Each structure stands twice: as structure tokens, then as C-alpha cells.
Amino acid sequence: MVAAEQFSAPVAGLGEGAFWDDRTNRFMMVDLLRGDILTLDDSGQPTRAHVDTIASVIRSRAAGGFVVGVERGARFLTDDLQPLGDVLTAFDTEGIRMNDGGCDPQGRLYVGSMAYAESAGAGTLYRVDRDHTIVPVLDSVTVSNGIQWSADGARVFYNDTATGRIAVFDFDDSDGSFHDQRDFVVLPEGVGAPDGMAIDSEDGLWVALWGGSAVRHYDADGKLSEVIELPVSKVTCPTFGGPDKATLYVTTADIDVTNEPLAGAVFRADVGVTGAPVHAFAG
């Protein structure tokens, strides 16, 4: 079993969007419901930048700066995290907000929505194309969460947390569409629900378990090969970072928990495998 160490003090209410910025060699994340981006230094001390009502996920932008999911769409940020231009609006529905997301190997951004009340089927996974057009990819989603692509780009893995399953689709890289949904992993009852996830250089998935106090590692065939236990229940999002990309950083949340003094802290673990590239938004 891999041991995790505490990297930061509790810094977030709903820590999410774990991200290692290769350009500056720093760990970044969102404090989702506060609309903040947190940048942590080598000692885990955070610098906080408020960017919008909601900040759901952050990725690099190939043109410079960043793209961040906001309440009803996405927006660009400068290198110093200042808003740049207008919000790219995906929807205008009360009671719905964006959640997790990521970029495909071609540089398109995918961000999924959910109801604040977590109403069944109220969310949608959207694709932001390189020309800034936004189109729905999957509908009837409940809690849209982690998304990752296999090394060959032929498959995409996706978590709708409420299903308790990691889904896999065939991926058409020509238009960014998903096909032939099936189960990659069905999580057992009582271990928590699949939240954010990272993928390593061997196509292994590292999946945060909301309510499960752990990150689970599934190999390229979907076999459970490692469990990283954490001292908090609401584990939200892992990412690979560090100079060699062999350290797994993990965000957590202090939403609706009691007697968990470390809830909202960031943890890290040396896992013996390097992370796959995290793609930038190309638009």
C-alpha cells in the first residue's frame, strides 16, 4: 500500500481541479464554490486568486495563460490569473453549475455540469472547441467529474459520480465525439463514489473516491492494483506533478464532514509511475 503525506494545511472548502503547471513547476487547484484558484508553493503555502462565482477546473492555454471552468461556461485567464475577455457561455439555466473537466489530445476542452441540488440527470458534458464553439457531448449526467484519454487517444474514460462506475468510450479524434459507452470499472458498494481522476504513462487510472477516504489505482485492464488511504472522507481530484511527474497530488473537501481536522488539505504520494501529459487548450 502506498502511503500519502500531508502537503498543505486545510486550504479549501471544495478543493478540486488538481493541476500541475509545467511552465512554472507549481501545483494549482480550485476552491470550487468560492470561485478561487489556489497556487501552492513548495512548502504547501497557498496564494489565492478569485476569478469568478465558481471555478471548477483549470488547464493551461496554448496561447498563454489558462482556461477555467466557471458557473455556466468557461473563461480565459492571463498568466497572473486575471480574467481575460468575456465568459464563453454554455447554458443559462438557474440551479446548474459547471464541475470537473479536461482537455483531449487535440486541445479541445470538456467541462461537465451538474445541479447544485445534484438532481438526477440534470447535467451535461460540454465540449469547447478550438474556435470557442460550445456543444453538448453527453446529456442526462448527474455529477459530471473526471475525464481522461488513453495514450493512443482511441479511448476516453469518464466519471459520472452518481453512477458508481468508470465509463469508457471509443473516441473520434476528428470531431471529439464519444461512442460505444461501456463499463471500465464498477466500484463495489461502500468504497465511495468516483470523483476526479488522473492517468499515468501506462494507461493506469488513479481515481479519487468521494466518501471513500482513498484514491484507487486501476491498471490498463481495469484491475485494482493499489489503494492510497487518506485521513479524510471527501477525496476529490488527483494529478501527477513534481519534476519527474511521479508524485500524485490529491485534493480534498470539507463539505458536510465532522471530526475531520485535515479535510480540505492537499496530500501527495510517490507512486512509482509517471503521469501522462496533461493537454492544454489549443483555442
User: Annotated active-site positions, please?
Assistant: 195
d(CA 134, CA 24): 29
d(CA 143, CA 163): 9
CA distances from 182 to 95, 155, 166, 174, 234 (A): 30, 11, 9, 21, 26
d(CA 176, CA 129): 9
d(CA 61, CA 71): 19
